[in-house]
Structure 1
Amino acid sequence: MRRFLSLTAMTVAGGLALTQSLAAQETRDLRGQLDFEGRYLVSISDADMVASAYVNGQLGPREGRDALSILPLEGDPRDWQAYEIFASNSVAGPPAAVALSPDGRYAFVVESFTPRPDNDDPHAFGDLTQGRLLKVFDLQDPTNPRLIQERETLERPDAVQMNAAGDILAVTYHPAGAGSETPLALYPFTDGELGERVTPTIDGWPNGERLIEANWHPEDDVLAMIDTSGGATLRFARVADDLSVEVFGNVVDIERAPYRVEFTPDGRHVAINALYWGPDIEGTWIEAPRGSLLTVRMNAETEGDSVRHAFVSRITTGVSPEGLAISPDGRWVATTNLERSYLPYDDARITWFSSITLARLDPESGQLTHVGDFPYDGILPEAAVFDNSSNYLAVANYDHFDDRRVGSSIDFWRIQADPLDLANVQLIKTEHSVPVTRGAHSLAIAR
């Protein structure tokens, strides 16, 4: 009798183990092999305007309030959700209005424009006033973000970035605000608190030109600074302990309407996206041609105190490549291309798609190779980040063509080569998507 019970128990246990194994396999299959690696994603959303306000100036109905969204990347991806807190911000600027400290503990958000008036009346873009706020959020618990500091900064900040050491925050300003006099401010940051602002002199910076973004070297206190006004140039500068700035090497001529700049992981090159917008374009950007992605090598030649930076490579992207991301392994670069997805539905020029351009990057030479342009059904994708494995891309999708679908989404893409033809590389939009407040436009990852 005891033997019979033992065999029965063994049979039940074996069956249970088999059932659990099949269930686990089913879970893996249903998850679609989304092995997106990282601690959490951080995005910000401008709830005050629909995408077509860029064209007709009409903000349209508001959906909620501006938000900072935190998306923990743990557990089953089908159950992922974002945790949000109010954070005033604006899509009217480069998609670099949120930054993280290197340890992921703190998020920094700049307010380019204030929220729209708090009523249900129809509003136009001209009703928004230029912002002045810089906020610090504590993300120690990603499911419960907390505002811990709010500072009044200079008028109309454009972009915010933190250095590799986590002790200096750089903020750039639009010429229509403080940028006509002071395009850059630096803030010391210690023990979770911003210090007093320093506005350094940038020798040779053209008066009134737009320093649209200043981004940090991955190891040193060196800034790459792009001028998106008439000059379309790139400068490199060292930041000293007293937060003074020293430009070094030559000014590099780049391409028309640069928007974002990022160092490669080894710090040898920068990648820059160029939008080809301008006053001679119908609607400034509406009928823009295809954009470009380019690389520049810092310190390409050095002799004594003389330094020369060099333009290296260029490829063509989709139209209006606002977002820019480089993979942690330095092999891939992606741009998120607006195309003309943001036009009003009754505008014959609308493209009922956006796209992503994927390029290979040779870490040694800085050479780019175009992999492909990958269209998808979405509106105004302004930002993307690679995961830690460099095999996946998260993309902030501002809005949806299906107006019944509320809010924005963070969508997940996979880089996939054909196992029988490794030269055939595709960027595939997976079915995984997490909703956030409408208007998502800047994105960062805590690795």
Structure 2
Amino acid sequence: MKHLLLAGAAVLALALPSPGAQAQLLLSANDNKVVLENGAVKTLREPQPDTLSVIDLSTGTPTLRAEIAVPASVVGPPTSVAITPDEKLALVTANTRPNPAEPGKLMPGNSMAVIDLAATPPRLLATLPTGAAPAGVSINRAGTLALVANRAEGTVSVFRIAHGQVTPAAKVDIGTVASEVSHVEFTPDGRFALVTRNGDHMLNVLQVEGDKVTKLNREITTGVRPYGLTIAPDGRWAVVANIGRGTGDADTVSLVDLTKEPFRVVDTISVGQTPEGIAASPDGRHVAVTVMNGSNKPAHSPFAGPGLVKLLKVEGMRLSVVSEARVGNWAQGAAFAPDGRTLFVGNMTDRDISVLKVAEDGRLSEGGPRIKVAGGSAALRVAQRAAR
């Protein structure tokens, strides 16, 4: 059996700030099962365990505080990790898991890990059943409810959160298996949630009343293969990453107006090949989107290129590209520091996290050395809080 204290005993011994100290944690879910070899995804026969990295942002210098073994997956939108607003609990879904009958092969996962972040070091608290191939996960701003998109089942699982415990509550039918439900995100007021359907190019709207979640009769048409999704902290808009078909063509992101009911797409712009990770800035002025830009293709491909992150401005219910910066290959998640001045991007191939400064006008620049993590960074998240 392989043991995992990958950050070293000295790192794991460092205590996290108490919950009341506003630790400002960044979480990275890391996949160790697959690697990218010259544009081809390869599954390892004897992988190291997947991990969760806990990074403290409260001092202004990102500090890796702990890494523990937690099942994770690069398959699905890079929003497969979530953290409660009080930063006491984390949730991590595992879309895929090793197939014990066929080493080097994967099979759909069916579980979500619950991690106690208040423990020193953080510890796995529970493993809960989900639907088949759980992908994106989100927690409401009240910290009382979580939703999980089950990509190979066409459903959304509902979980209650109370007294430090997470318990299954219900499951909502969204579409057929072919709809490939990928991510689900609460509106800040907790009254609705949006669900991306990667398989049939649309969003669904869910109504949330207490812990009762109901699918409404509203299908929003987006671009090709909507995948990742982010919502402004003030709830005025959502932006969807349409990953396209991976054929080297420029893909898009779509802006959804949430100020009017029924919600509707009001703008769509091109951002380049395969936009995947997407995150709204804390002030609601910008959206960061990771663009693979062919960094996941063979070196000889005419579509090969360096990984990018682009910063978009949202103004007057219109999108525009403000700036871009180089990041690693096969880039996945994006997350802003709570003050909005730093942007983090997870790099799956490079097994690290890029750190970028965000200027007042939206210009991006290097913000410090990359943060090494124990595995390919497959998903990034900070606590979702109300607009500041």
Does 2:309 match 1:356? yes
Counterparts of 2:84 and 2:118, CA distance in 1 = 12
Please give the TM-score of this superposition, normalised by the length of structure 2: 0.85
Query: Structure 1 207/319 Cα, relative in aligned 2: closer, same or farther at 3 Å?
Result: closer
State which of 330, 350, 364 in structure 2 corresponds to 1:427: 364
State which of 29, 32, 52 in structure 2 corresponds to 1:68: 52
- Aligned counterpart, 2:221: 253
What letter corresponds to residue 372 of structure 1 in structure 2? S
**Runs of at least 4 residues off by over 3 Å:** 60-64, 115-118, 205-208, 347-350
List aligned pairs for 1:205-224, cutoff 5 A. Answer: 205=175, 208-224=178-194
Counterparts of 1:380 and 1:310, CA distance in 2 = 31
- Aligned counterpart, 2:317: 366
What letter corresponds to residue 155 of structure 1 in structure 2? A
List aligned pairs for 1:64-213, cutoff 5 A. Answer: 64-75=48-59, 77=61, 80-115=63-98, 124=104, 127-141=105-119, 144-175=121-152, 178-179=153-154, 183-202=155-174, 205=175, 208-213=178-183
- Aligned counterpart, 2:198: 228
Counterparts of 2:382 and 2:211, CA distance in 1 = 29
CA contact 1:63–1:438 (8 Å) conserved in 2: no
Does 2:281 match 1:327? yes
What letter corresponds to residue 70 of structure 2 in structure 1? A
What RMSD, in angstroms, separates the aligned Cα atoms of the two structures? 2.6
Does 2:243 match 1:243? no
**Considering only CA atoms, is the larger Rg found in Structure 1 or Structure 2?**
1
% same residue: 24
Counterparts of 1:135 and 1:310, CA distance in 2 = 34
CA contact 1:163–1:221 (8 Å) conserved in 2: no
Please give the TM-score of this superposition, normalised by the length of structure 1: 0.75
More strand by share: 2
Per the TM alignment, residue 57 of structure 1 is displaced from its structure 2 partner at its CA by 4.5
- Aligned counterpart, 1:379: 329
Query: Structure 1 320/38 Cα, relative in aligned 2: closer, same or farther at 3 Å?
Result: farther
Gaps of 5+ in 1: 1-36, 278-284, 301-306, 401-407
Counterparts of 2:273 and 2:53, CA distance in 1 = 28
List aligned pairs for 1:40-59, cutoff 5 A. Answer: 40-52=25-37, 55-59=39-43
What letter corresponds to residue 216 of structure 1 in structure 2? F
Does 2:236 match 1:276? no
CA contact 2:35–2:44 (8 Å) conserved in 1: yes
State which of 281, 285, 295 in structure 2 corresponds to 1:341: 295
Counterparts of 2:59 and 2:146, CA distance in 1 = 32
- Aligned counterpart, 2:11: none
- Aligned counterpart, 2:6: none
Per the TM alignment, residue 76 of structure 1 is displaced from its structure 2 partner at its CA by 6.8
CA contact 1:48–1:116 (8 Å) conserved in 2: no
More helix by share: 1
Q: Which digits, 9 at most, give the CA deviation of each residue in 1:235-256, with x for residues without a partner?
A: 32212235241416x4221111
Gaps of 5+ in 2: 1-21
What letter corresponds to residue 324 of structure 2 in structure 1? D
Per the TM alignment, residue 297 of structure 1 is displaced from its structure 2 partner at its CA by 0.8
Per the TM alignment, residue 61 of structure 1 is displaced from its structure 2 partner at its CA by 7.9
Per the TM alignment, residue 206 of structure 1 is displaced from its structure 2 partner at its CA by 5.7
